[in-house]
Structure 1
Amino acid sequence: MASATTAKLLWSLLIALLLLSVCDASSVKEPDGTSVVFSIENYGARGDGKHDDTQALAKAWTAACSSSRPAALLVPKGKSYLLKSTTLSGPCKSTVVFMVKGMLVAPSRSDWSEDNISHWIMFQGISGLTVTGGGVINGNGEVWWKNSCKTNEALPCTHAPTALTFHLCDNLKVDYLKIVNSQQIHMSVEDCTDVQLTRLSITAPGTSPNTDGIHITRSKDVQVRDCIIKTGDDCMSIEDGTHNLHVTKVVCGPGHGISIGSLGDDNSRAEVSGITIDSVQLYGTTNGARIKTWQGGSGFAKDIIFQNIIMDNVQNPIIIDQNYCDSAKPCQDQESAVEINSIIFKNIRGTTTSKDAIKLSCNKNAPCSDISLENIELKLEGGKGDTESTCQNAKWRKSGNVVPSPCKGNN
């Protein structure tokens, strides 16, 4: 096992390489000669960051989506295009590349109404869509964060837009984008199939509320790789209906870590399976590898692997919480729960700010089962003592060296 100093140097090198990869717009593939290019400036966009360019984008999209030949919709480099809430819908006659080279910027909070507050830019019902270009999606979220009840408890809790939403899309590719300062969630993938999310830079202050990096729900056959995510909430939130997801080479922090859940809220049924989180770096996050479910729910979270993970200064490195409660009122004990089984935590090392480095808090009515802990070494930051583990209603096994020793016989 490498020393802590060596691990941190390797980690810093990986971050630098990923940053170079994400920011190297020269690697973005230009539309080939067979594609028809539709620039939003040919449809009236000004690109001064002040005038509303929403209608220009809508017209350019209609033209590109209607093209019988492969199309590229171009957002030119060096300008800022102000966009209000907009939905770009399919089906399209051919494949479309949405080429963002400049910046798309959201309007001020006063320009939003209750009718369109859930989404800023949505792509819906499209097959064969690619979104790329090396440009910036700027949610202009600062004013939303100031008006959040999680920032100021005296304020009412209200919804805020998701910056980039993909709904009912298949054969989707999103790469080489910078998504910054979302109003709430940065990117949401919903009801999609065959998705590749690569070389993305997603950033917001660690204090920004509910700014999840990548949110995935009701989607299958999804790959996420070579991304850097720095937000105020989950780097990735993986929710109901997600199946066959593979995440690799993601750097996360600050934020709340990588979470499966929350699942089963409001007594709902949730099903999640076939999740692999591999070769991930987490630093300064609230949680590391996390599964969270509400009491009263039903369904399952199974066949999940967290492996080859380095953690630095993480508060809760390994945590299963089957009694999750994010409510102003105390949550009542209920008889049902989302079942959690066939979970592997493997080759995980690093430092934690909490003595409880491994927490398996499961429900007495639906205990967690088949939990495997393999080759784990988690030490207190600064070497200030020994780490510990706690288990409730969890059936686990270990192999290799596991530090801290799992649960001290409490099984």
Structure 2
Amino acid sequence: MHFSQILVGATAFLSTGVVAQLSGTVGPKTSVASKTAKKKCSVLDYGAKADKTTDLGPPLASAFAACKTGGTIVIPSGDYALKTWVTLNGGSAWALQIDGIIYRTGTAGGNMIFIEHTSDVEVFSSTGKGAIQGNGYEFHAQGSRSGPRILRTYDVDRFSVHDLILVDSPAFHFSMDTCKNGEVYNMAIRGGNWGGLDGVDVWSTNMWIHDIMVTNKDECVTVKSPSTNILIENIYCNWSGGCALGSLGANTAISKIQYKNVYTWNSNQMMMIKSNGGSGYAEDLVFENFIGHGNAYSLDIDQYWSSMSTIAGDGVKLTNVTMKNWKGTEANGAQRGPIKIACADGAPCTELTISDFAMWTETGSKQTYTCRSGYGSGFCLKASGSASYAAVTSTVSAAPSGYSAATMADDLKTAFGTTVSIPIPTMPASFFPGATPISALAGS
């Protein structure tokens, strides 16, 4: 699907009673076909060569200048080198078709491809084989993450990014900063097994992110502040850090976020909300239909997260948070139980709901549930109140009924390291057990 105008309005109520819907239309206003009919700008006509040596940067910039007011910039199949980074600034009603493989050869920081201040944009591969190979191992083997991000969008409205493969970024893979009305789907992201190599980070408004596979050791698909009206579904964290909200700091403003159909394999956590001090709010959140296997943490709300410095403030206030229909197994339930709720004593969590939650340990025969300063229903949460309270831990030694859950055919057996080239993957046929991609994979 190269043209998407999806409207999920006030009728998109969840069964939980929480509204966590898109607030309007997402995706580009005009189709790729109409853009291409107006003008087509192949980078080959501007000096690009598919020889894996000639710098694609200047030809891509020239092709964009020619098509930025309406048209399709095409990078045909073949191998291209990118030595100088490209900023695609302004214009509207344009598309970037990446059917070749772009290999990073430059060493500067920043963003390999940076898209900003534009609207009605589509970035995609028509074959599902277009890829950007960041060769991040060349930095990581030296202990450095000082290289560039692969792809960043800033202040972009009515856009889509889809059917692309991003591999081995020196830093973050894909960030969406202060964007709105976007759709991101059918992507495979594969990075090194090291923190700081985020998969997808988004702090934006009215976004639909679906059918994404991420391998790395940090953020899988993570929402940061400020964000509102974001729907994230059919996510495959395949040996990753896992999905999260955060880290959250001062003046946090997050609302109406829904994650559904999230499969997490051998990752740090299935879902985490992370902060340490700070202020503001995160409210009207839904995390439903989660399956996990082999993860260190499962449900992890940690408002005393020691991996970030303490920020001034009583804490970020969490309100109206639903966790529903979680299944699977965790690595060691006695060491790290499947439910860890550590809310800020200065801003206790309220209206938390945990239901249909059945997980069991892969090691040993017991697991723990821990709650601190959290109110609502389910497991160790206190039913009512507003005062802080010390952590309460319960231990169980019998597996809950219904915890068994499916695995995925593409589950990795080992992680990718940081010292050798990471191969470009093919797109998986599915991103959640039993689920067909919402939009057909390109080339299928």
Provide the TM-score with structure 1 as the length reference. 0.80
Name the CA distance, whole Å, in 1 between partners of 2:64 and 2:184: 22
Alignment of 1:192-207 (within 5 A): 192-205=179-192, 207=193
Q: 1:99 aligns to what SS in structure 2?
A: strand
- Tell me what 1:71 maps to: 71
Distance 1:252 1:333, change over 3 A: closer
Amino acid at match of 1:57: L
Per mean C-alpha deviation after superposition, the further-off stretch among 273-282 and 159-168 is 159-168
Provide the TM-score with structure 2 as the length reference. 0.74
* Alpha-carbon offset, residue 325 of structure 1: 2.8
Residue of structure 2 aligned with 1:388, choices 351, 357, 368: 368
- Tell me what 1:209 maps to: 195
- Tell me what 1:349 maps to: 327
Q: Does 1:234 align with 2:219?
A: yes
Amino acid at match of 1:107: T
Unpaired runs of 5+ residues, structure 2, are 1-30, 380-391, 396-444
Greater RCO (CA < 8 Å, at least 6 residues apart)? 2
Amino acid at match of 2:78: G
Amino acid at match of 2:247: S
Name the CA distance, whole Å, in 2 between partners of 1:227 and 1:261: 19
- Tell me what 1:189 maps to: 176
* Alpha-carbon offset, residue 287 of structure 1: 0.7
* Alpha-carbon offset, residue 334 of structure 1: 5.5
Amino acid at match of 1:273: S
- Tell me what 2:84 maps to: 84
- Tell me what 1:104 maps to: 102
* Alpha-carbon offset, residue 307 of structure 1: 0.2
Q: 1:366 aligns to what SS in structure 2?
A: coil
- Tell me what 1:255 maps to: 240
* Alpha-carbon offset, residue 225 of structure 1: 0.9
> Cα deviation per residue 1:47-90 (whole Å; 9 max; x = unaligned)?
21212221111110000113xxx411000102323242221111
Alignment of 1:123-272 (within 5 A): 123-133=115-125, 134=128, 135-148=130-143, 159-205=146-192, 207-217=193-203, 219-264=204-249, 268-272=250-254
Name the CA distance, whole Å, in 1 between partners of 2:369 and 2:143: 35
- Tell me what 1:365 maps to: 346
Per mean C-alpha deviation after superposition, the further-off stretch among 46-55 and 175-184 is 46-55
Q: Does 1:274 align with 2:244?
A: no
* Alpha-carbon offset, residue 121 of structure 1: 1.0
Residue of structure 1 aligned with 2:359, choices 371, 375, 378: 378
Number of residue equivalences? 346
* CA root-mean-square deviation: 2.0
Amino acid at match of 2:198: D
* Alpha-carbon offset, residue 138 of structure 1: 1.4
Name the CA distance, whole Å, in 2 between partners of 1:335 and 1:53: 47
Per mean C-alpha deviation after superposition, the further-off stretch among 193-202 and 332-341 is 332-341
Residue of structure 2 aligned with 1:120, choices 112, 122, 125: 112
Per mean C-alpha deviation after superposition, the further-off stretch among 29-38 and 372-381 is 29-38
Per mean C-alpha deviation after superposition, the further-off stretch among 30-39 and 371-380 is 30-39
Q: 2:195 aligns to what SS in structure 1?
A: coil
Note if contact 2:181-2:207 (Cα within 8 Å) is conserved in structure 1. yes
* Alpha-carbon offset, residue 173 of structure 1: 0.4
- Tell me what 2:37 maps to: 34
Distance 1:335 1:37, change over 3 A: closer
Note if contact 1:130-1:174 (Cα within 8 Å) is conserved in structure 2. yes
Residue of structure 2 aligned with 1:54, choices 54, 57, 63: 57
Per mean C-alpha deviation after superposition, the further-off stretch among 70-79 and 180-189 is 70-79
Unpaired runs of 5+ residues, structure 1, are 1-28, 150-157, 400-405
Amino acid at match of 1:274: K
> Cα deviation per residue 1:258-291 (whole Å; 9 max; x = unaligned)?
0100000xxx211111110001111101111111
Amino acid at match of 1:317: S
Name the CA distance, whole Å, in 1 between partners of 2:251 and 2:171: 25
Note if contact 1:184-1:209 (Cα within 8 Å) is conserved in structure 2. no
Note if contact 1:99-1:132 (Cα within 8 Å) is conserved in structure 2. yes
* Alpha-carbon offset, residue 108 of structure 1: 4.3
Name the CA distance, whole Å, in 2 between partners of 1:209 and 1:147: 15
Name the CA distance, whole Å, in 2 between partners of 1:169 and 1:62: 17
Name the CA distance, whole Å, in 2 between partners of 1:208 and 1:299: 30
Name the CA distance, whole Å, in 1 between partners of 2:313 and 2:280: 14
Name the CA distance, whole Å, in 1 between partners of 2:205 and 2:393: 34
* Alpha-carbon offset, residue 408 of structure 1: 3.8
Name the CA distance, whole Å, in 1 between partners of 2:113 and 2:313: 40
Name the CA distance, whole Å, in 1 between partners of 2:61 and 2:175: 21
* Alpha-carbon offset, residue 292 of structure 1: 0.6
- Tell me what 1:287 maps to: 269
> Cα deviation per residue 1:315-350 (whole Å; 9 max; x = unaligned)?
1100101112325xxx56965111111111100010
Name the CA distance, whole Å, in 1 between partners of 2:286 and 2:310: 30
Name the CA distance, whole Å, in 2 between partners of 1:102 and 1:75: 6
Distance 1:335 1:40, change over 3 A: closer
Per mean C-alpha deviation after superposition, the further-off stretch among 385-394 and 29-38 is 29-38
Name the CA distance, whole Å, in 2 between partners of 1:148 and 1:366: 38
* Alpha-carbon offset, residue 172 of structure 1: 0.8
Distance 1:332 1:379, change over 3 A: same
* Alpha-carbon offset, residue 98 of structure 1: 0.4
